[in-house]
Amino acid sequence: MLNVGVDLGGTTIKAGVVNEQGQIIKQKAIPTGAERSCRAVVEDMADLVLEIVAEAGYSMDEVASVGIGSPGAIDPVNGLVVFAANFADFRNVPIVDIMKEKISVPVYLENDANVAALGESVYGAGNGCKNTVAITLGTGLGGGIIINGKIYSGGLIGGGEMGHQVIVADGIRCTCGRKGCWEVYSAATALVRMAKEEAEKDPASLMNRAHEGDISQLNGKDVFDAIAEGDAAAKAALQTYAHYLAIGLGNTINVFTPEYIIIGGGPSAQGSVLLDPVMECLGEEIFGGSLRTKVVTAKLGNNAGIVGASLLGTVQ
Amino acid sequence: MLNVGVDLGGTTIKAGVVNEQGQIIKQKAIPTGAERSCRAVVEDMADLVLEIVAEAGYSMDEVASVGIGSPGAIDPVNGLVVFAANFADFRNVPIVDIMKEKISVPVYLENDANVAALGESVYGAGNGCKNTVAITLGTGLGGGIIINGKIYSGGLIGGGEMGHQVIVADGIRCTCGRKGCWEVYSAATALVRMAKEEAEKDPASLMNRAHEGDISQLNGKDVFDAIAEGDAAAKAALQTYAHYLAIGLGNTINVFTPEYIIIGGGPSAQGSVLLDPVMECLGEEIFGGSLRTKVVTAKLGNNAGIVGASLLGTVQ
C-alpha cells in the first residue's frame, strides 16, 4: 500500500506519494496562501493529495493513509492545530475533519518537527532505530523525540520543546521569555552571532571581508567559508558554538539515551566540520563517561517532512 | 490478587505485601549486608518475600508478581543490575534469575528512583495520572519519568538521569564530571551549601548559632528552622535554591509536559515553604507562558519504593 505525506509550511504546501520503501514516487508543491481562511488552506491541501495520487497513476483505494506535518502546537488525538504562528486563521483548526470531507482514508496530524524526526528515524540517518532524537538547527532549535518507534510530544499538548531547556541559567533572553535556552546558544543563528563577536574582536578575520565589510550581513555560509580557509576567528566561534551544542546534546543523552541523535538544519550540511568539534566537547558531557548514542547528521534533507508525515498512519 | 514490592537499599532490604488498592498489608525489613556476595543478598531477598507472604497469612498462589527496586544502572528487560555503587559485588547481577530459583511467580526489576516515581504516580501525589515526573531532592537529585503509565528510562540502559542535565554551563563541577548539573544546584545538599554562603556573609544570621557556631555542621533542618524564624540570610538561600530548582522544573515541563511533577526528599516535607518560592520562579520558565503541569510534594514517603515495586508486574 501507499501512503501520502503532506508538509504544510507557512509559504508552501508540499505533498508526496510514498511507497512502502519510504521512497517518494510523486511529489508536488503549491503556495500555502497562509493569509487565507484555514478552510481554504486545508481544502487546497486535500485537493493536492487527490491530484498527486491520480497523477502518480493510482486510485485512493491504493492509499492506506494521509499524514500531515504542520507547524505550531498540535493536538494529534483530536486532529487539531491548536495554534500556528505565520498563519492568519490557525487557531483550533480541525484539520483532520476538514480533510476527511474530501479524503476517504484515515488522516493523521502531527507537529512538523516531530514528523521530520520520524522520517529521519525510520528512513534516514536513524537507520530504522526505535529510539532517536532529531534536532534541527535553524532560526530556532527544533526537536523531535521518537520513543519505541513513535513520536513523543509530551503528556500534555505542546511538549517536546527541547530547544527551550535552559542550559545557561540567567543567560541571554530567548524569544520564549526564558533566559539561557539551548536554542539561544545552538540555533544556526547563534553560530552567526558568535562569529560576529569574534570578527569584531579580530579585524584581520576573513569574515570582515564578506559583504563589503558589512558584518551585520554575515551568514552561516560566510562563517564556514572562513573556517575552510583556516580563519582563526571563525574557528573560535565554531568552538564556542560546539561547546554549547554539546551541552544540550549531553542533556538529551543523559535523559533519553537514544540510539541516535540526528542533527539537521543548515550547519549540519558541513558534516564533520561541525561534528568533529562537537564530538570532542561531548566526551565530557556523558553520565557514566561512555557515549553509546550515535551522533550523526540528517540524510533526508527537505524530504524528511513528506516521508515522516507519510509514516504517521503506520505508527499509531 | 496481591503483589509484593521489594525496596533494595545499600543498608536495608524492605519488602511489603501490597493489595489491589495499593495498601501495604504486611512489611518487614532486614539488613542488606551489602559487603557480601550478590547471591547471598539476593537469596535473603527471596526468603524475605516468602516470609512476609506467609506471615500475612497468604500462599504464593495468591501473589501475582514480585517487583524489585534497586539502586544503580538496571537492565529491566534482562533482569540485571548492571552496576550498583555501595554494593561489593553488584556487576551484571542476574537478580531476576536468582530470585526465580526460590520464587515461582513473575519477578520484575527496575531502578529504585523509577519505581518510587511509579508508586507516587499511581497511588501517591500523582493521583493516578499516566504522565508524571517525580524528582527526589537528597544528596543528589534523582528522577523517575512515567509516560503513558509506564516507567521510561531511556532508549539505552542508564537513561532518565534528569539530575545530570546542565542548567549552568561551565558551572560548579558535578560528581558525574559535568559542570553545572541541575543536581549541583537543586539537590538538598545544594540548599545547605547556599545557606552556608549566606550565613558567612551575614554574621547576624540565626544559622550561625546552630551547632555552637560550627557552620560546617549546618543541615537542611537548621536552614528551614531559621526561615521559620524569619532569618533573612536563610530566606535568601532558599530564594536562590528555588530559582535553580524552577529552572530544572521548567526544562522538565517544556520537554515532558507531565500532568504532575512530584517533588520528594527532605526539603519537600516543608510543603508550601518550599513550593511557594519555586512556583513564583516557575511562572517565568514555561514555554507558551501557561503552566498546566501541577507541581506537588510527594505523599508516600518511605513507602513509595515498596508500593512502586509492587506495581512493576501490573504495568508491563
Q: Which helix (H) or strand (E) holds B6?
A: strand B2-8
State the pLDDT at residue B78. Answer: 95
Reported confidence tier of residue A182, pLDDT bands at 50, 70, 90 = very high
Residue from the list B159, B177, B254 with its beta carbon closest to the beta carbon of A164: B254
Q: What is the pLDDT of residues B225-257, one digit of tens each?
A: 999 999 999 999 999 999 999 999 999 999 999
Percent share of chain A, pLDDT over 90: 89
Contact call for A154 and B256, based on CB within 8 A: yes
Q: How far apart are CA B14 and CA B202, in angstroms?
A: 44
State the pLDDT at residue A159. Answer: 86
Interface ipTM above 0.90: yes
- Residues on chain A touching B186 (C-beta within 8 angstroms): none
Reported confidence tier of residue A290, pLDDT bands at 50, 70, 90 = confident
Q: How far apart are CA A33 and CA B46, in angstroms?
A: 67
Among chain A residues, the shortest Cα distance to B133 is held by A155
The type of residue at B66 is V
Q: What is the pLDDT of residues A244-284, one digit of tens each?
A: 999 999 999 999 999 999 999 999 999 999 999 999 999 88
Contact call for B169 and A166, based on CB within 8 A: no
Which of A20-29, A149-158, B293-302 has the least mean pLDDT?
Answer: A149-158
Contact call for A287 and B155, based on CB within 8 A: no
Q: How does B224-235 read in b/e, with b if 16+ C-beta sit within 10 Å?
A: bebbeeebebbb
Contacts of B143 (CB under 8 A, 6+ apart): B113, B117, B133, B134, B135, B136, B160, B161, B162, B163
The CA radius of gyration of chain B, in Å to the nearest whole number, is 20
- Residues on chain A touching B160 (C-beta within 8 angstroms): 255, 257
- Residues on chain B touching A261 (C-beta within 8 angstroms): none
Q: How far apart are CA B186 and CA B247, in angstroms?
A: 10
Contact call for B165 and A256, based on CB within 8 A: no
CB pairs under 8 A between A and B: 136
Q: How far apart are CA B129 and CA A246, in angstroms?
A: 34
Max Cα–Cα distance, chain A, nearest Å: 64
State the pLDDT at residue B205. Answer: 97
Contact call for B130 and A155, based on CB within 8 A: yes
Q: How far apart are CA A115 and CA A76, in angstroms?
A: 11
Contact call for A154 and B255, based on CB within 8 A: yes
Q: How far apart are CA A112 and CA A140, in angstroms?
A: 14
Q: How far apart are CA A302 and CA A26, in angstroms?
A: 15
Contact call for A254 and B157, based on CB within 8 A: no
For testing contact with chain B, the best of A132, A146, A156, A165 (most B CBs within 10 A): A165
- Residues on chain B touching A158 (C-beta within 8 angstroms): 257, 287-288
Distance from CA of A162 to the nearest CA of B (A): 6
Contact call for A165 and B284, based on CB within 8 A: no
State the pLDDT at residue B157. Answer: 86
Residue A302 burial (CB < 10 Å; 0-12/13-18/19+)?
exposed
Reported confidence tier of residue A84, pLDDT bands at 50, 70, 90 = confident
What average pLDDT does the segment A149-171 reach?
93
Contact call for B167 and A169, based on CB within 8 A: yes
The runs of H, that is alpha helices, within B93-147 are 95-100, 112-123
For testing contact with chain A, the best of B287, B292, B293, B295 (most A CBs within 10 A): B287
Strand order in the sheet with A2-8: A24-31, A12-18, A2-8, A63-70, A107-111
The runs of H, that is alpha helices, within chain B are 38-55, 95-100, 112-123, 182-186, 188-201, 220-228, 232-256, 272-282, 304-311
State the pLDDT at residue B72. Answer: 87
Whether residue A45 is predicted with pLDDT greater than 80 in this model: the reply is yes
Q: How far apart are CA A93 and CA B192, in angstroms?
A: 50
Q: How far apart are CA B224 and CA B214, in angstroms?
A: 17
Reported confidence tier of residue A293, pLDDT bands at 50, 70, 90 = very high
Q: How far apart are CA B137 and CA B114, in angstroms?
A: 14
Q: What are phi and psi for residue B28, nearest 5 degrees?
A: -155, 150
Among chain A residues, the shortest Cα distance to B169 is held by A168
Cβ–Cβ under 8 Å, residues A93 and A232? no
Contact call for B169 and A168, based on CB within 8 A: yes
Contact call for A157 and B130, based on CB within 8 A: no
Which of A122-136, B27-41, B73-87 has the least mean pLDDT?
Answer: B73-87
Residue from the list A161, A178, A250 with its beta carbon closest to the beta carbon of B166: A250
- Residues on chain A touching B255 (C-beta within 8 angstroms): 145, 154, 159-162, 165, 255
Reported confidence tier of residue B27, pLDDT bands at 50, 70, 90 = very high
Reported confidence tier of residue B90, pLDDT bands at 50, 70, 90 = confident
Distance from CA of B209 to the nearest CA of A (A): 32
Cβ–Cβ under 8 Å, residues A284 and A247? no
Whether residue A86 is predicted with pLDDT greater than 90 in this model: the reply is no
Among chain A residues, the shortest Cα distance to B244 is held by A169
Cβ–Cβ under 8 Å, residues B117 and B150? no
For testing contact with chain A, the best of B251, B282, B292, B293 (most A CBs within 10 A): B251
Q: Where are the beta strands (DSSP E) in chain A?
A: 2-8, 12-18, 24-31, 63-70, 73-75, 80-83, 91-93, 107-111, 132-137, 141-147, 150-152, 260-265, 294-297
Contact call for B258 and A73, based on CB within 8 A: no
Cell of A86: 505565520
The closest of B105, B90, B108 to B2, measured between CA atoms, is: B105
Q: How far apart are CA A310 and CA A68, in angstroms?
A: 8
Cell of B54: 506467609
For testing contact with chain A, the best of B129, B256, B286, B291 (most A CBs within 10 A): B256
Q: How far apart are CA B138 and CA B190, in angstroms?
A: 9
For testing contact with chain B, the best of A147, A287, A316 (most B CBs within 10 A): A287
- For chain A, helix, strand, coil in percent to 5 are 45, 25, 30
State the pLDDT at residue A47. Answer: 98
Distance from CA of B177 to the nearest CA of A (A): 7
State the pLDDT at residue A83. Answer: 86
Q: What is the pLDDT of residues B129-139, one digit of tens each?
A: 999 999 999 98
- Residues on chain A touching B154 (C-beta within 8 angstroms): 131, 255-258
State the pLDDT at residue B39. Answer: 95
Whether residue B68 is predicted with pLDDT greater than 80 in this model: the reply is yes
Which of B30-44, B79-93, B223-237, B246-260 has the least mean pLDDT?
Answer: B79-93
Whether residue A287 is predicted with pLDDT greater than 80 in this model: the reply is no
Q: What is the pLDDT of residues A2-36, one digit of tens each?
A: 999 999 998 999 999 999 999 999 999 999 999 99
Q: What is the pLDDT of residues B168-186, one digit of tens each?
A: 999 999 988 999 999 999 9
Q: Which long-range contacts (CB under 8 A, 24 or more apart) does B288-294 make?
A: B288/A73, B288/A158, B288/A176, B289/A177, B291/B253, B292/A156, B292/B257, B293/A156, B293/B253, B293/B257, B293/B258, B293/B259, B293/B260, B293/B261, B294/B259, B294/B260, B294/B261
State the pLDDT at residue B200. Answer: 95
Whether residue A56 is predicted with pLDDT greater than 90 in this model: the reply is yes
Among chain B residues, the shortest Cα distance to A165 is held by B251
pTM for the whole thing?
A: 0.93
